[in-house]
Amino acid sequence: MLPPGDDIEILSLLAESANDVIWKMSVAGEITYVSPSVERMRGLTPEEAMVQPLDEMMTPESVALTLQYYEEMYAALARGEQPPPTYWGEREYYCKDGSTVWTELYVIPRYNDTGALVEILGVTRDASDRKEQERLLQEARDEAEAARVAAERDRAAQAERERMARDLHDDLLQTLAAVRADIATVGLSADDPARAAASLQRSQEDLANAIESARRLVTGLRPQALEGRGLVEALDTLAAEFTGRTGVACDVECTANLDAPSAATEALYRVAQEALANVSKHAQASSVHIAVSRPDADRLLLRVQDDGRGLTLGDEDKDGSFGLIGMRERIALVGGTLHVASTPDNGTAVEAEVPAAG
């Protein structure tokens, strides 16, 4: 409905004094009125603003949004439907000096008594301050995200250093320690040439493995023992090598159906490897039993039990840099848990449980 004459005069007075730019457009698309505030906002006089083509008034993106609105509005009227009573959107206008200004645009179609569209009223409000605040906020978010990414990268680098340290300890250093033990055996076997020869043969094999381990540390591959083999087969080999080196009986029992090698099975292998290294160095055991089971469909359990002297108070911390701590870290990385149970003179049991799908 068109307002009475007095109301039109009041609206005109408000338009003349408003900070927002108030404008009117005919059904044919001609601008019929622009309030004086357009000069403060865009540097144009009302007369200049009224005759500007749309592509000189707004940036291309804003022109496209404006045309889309009017096309949808006129299409609805052509179908006999009345469009939404108001419209709000953001538009970027050109200023006289070539700069642009972001605005909030409010559009109000006006109809007569019969429901026919007679003109379109609009209010354009300067949104520069709000857009600037949004820009600053986005910059702050981007900086925070960049800081988060940098921190994540630092954590990843630290994790990689820790992984390499664990691999160095679990693979290369243990292999070299085995070589040292074999060489010591040679020195103690002067009266047993066959035993000395066997020790030298193991030393040659271990040195070859050490070279391969060093290569794998650089490339980040899985342990050589698991390449093309399952966990149980790798544990059988590990147990046989342990017995050949130390003379301590070691057997492997498996009651689980295992999937292909994975991060979880690699972690279990590393735990078994470290546990046997600890038995060799500390336990004074006569036998070791390695068991792999599946408590349920979702979990794998490794247990390494020896019959040695067991742990005394403080033993867990003696090799704390990469011994038990390293085992716990490896298992935690695949979502598992590790427990050590021991009493003096009753042996030690190391249990590692991991997700079966890890």
Q: Is 221 helix (H, G, I), strand (E, B) or coil?
A: coil
Residue 23: predicted pLDDT: 93
In tens, the pLDDT along 3-26 reads 454 555 555 555 565 689 999 999
Residue 54 is predicted with a pLDDT of 93
Who contacts 288 (Cβ-Cβ below 8 Å, separation ≥6)? 239, 242, 248, 249, 250, 251, 276, 279, 304, 305, 306, 307
Separation of first and last alpha carbons in the chain = 70
pLDDT band for position 332 (cuts 50, 70, 90) = confident
Q: What's the confidence (pLDDT) of residue 186?
A: 63
Quick check: 225 pLDDT over 50?
Answer: yes
pLDDT over threshold 80, residue 137 = yes
CA–CA distance, 207 with 43 (Å, rounded to integer): 82
Across 102-121, average pLDDT: 91
Q: Which of 205-214, 216-225, 299-308 has the lowest average pLDDT? A: 216-225
Between CA 224 and CA 138 the distance in angstroms is 49
The mean per-residue pLDDT over the stretch 147-166 comes to 69
Q: With bands split at pLDDT 50, 70 and 90, how would you rate the model's confidence at 91? A: very high
Residue 97 has pLDDT above 90, yes or no: yes
Q: What is the pLDDT of residue 320?
A: 46
pTM of the predicted structure, to 2 decimals: 0.44
Q: Which pLDDT score, from 0 to 100, does residue 125 have?
A: 94
DSSP code for 351: E
Region of poorest pLDDT, from 23-27, 176-180, 265-269, 331-335: 176-180
Average predicted confidence (pLDDT) for the chain: 82
Residue 238, pLDDT above cutoff 70: yes
Distances (CA, A) of 190 to 77, 150, 241, 261: 107, 59, 22, 42
Alpha helices in 168-192 (DSSP H): 174-187
- Separation CA 220–CA 54 (nearest Å): 61
pLDDT at 85 over 70: yes
Q: Residue 203: its pLDDT value, please?
A: 75
Q: What pLDDT is stored for residue 175 in this prediction? A: 72
Q: Among 92-96, 213-217, 299-303, 304-308, whose mean pLDDT is lowest?
A: 213-217
CA-based nearest residue to 283, from 252, 304, 254:
304
**pLDDT per residue as tens digits for the range 263-272:** 888 889 889 9
Between 184 and 296, the more confident residue is 296
User: Higher-confidence residue: 171 or 272?
Assistant: 272
Residue 199, pLDDT > 80, answer: no
- Given a cut of 80, is residue 29 above it in pLDDT? yes
Strand partners, 5: none
- Whether 278 shows a pLDDT value over 70: the answer reads yes
- Lowest-confidence segment of 178-192, 236-250, 251-265, 331-345 by average pLDDT: 178-192
Which pLDDT belongs to residue 13? 56
94: pLDDT confidence band, cut at 50, 70 and 90?
A: very high
For residues 85-94, average pLDDT: 93
Give the pLDDT band (50/70/90) at residue 319.
Answer: very low
3-state helix, strand, coil in the chain (%, to 5): 50, 20, 25
pLDDT the model gives residue 314: 56
Coil, helix or strand for 187? Answer: helix
**Which pairs from 212-219 meet CB under 8 Å and 24+ separation?**
213/167, 213/171, 213/172, 213/175, 214/172, 216/167, 216/171, 217/164, 217/167, 217/168, 217/171, 217/172
Domains of the chain, earliest start first: 5-126 (3.30.450.20), 226-358 (3.30.565.10)
Both tokens of 151, joined, read 């921190």
Query: pLDDT per residue over 113-123, tens digit each?
Result: 888 899 999 99
Do the beta carbons of residue 130 and residue 95 sit within 8 Å?
Answer: no
Please indicate whether residue 156 or residue 200 has the higher confidence score (pLDDT). 200
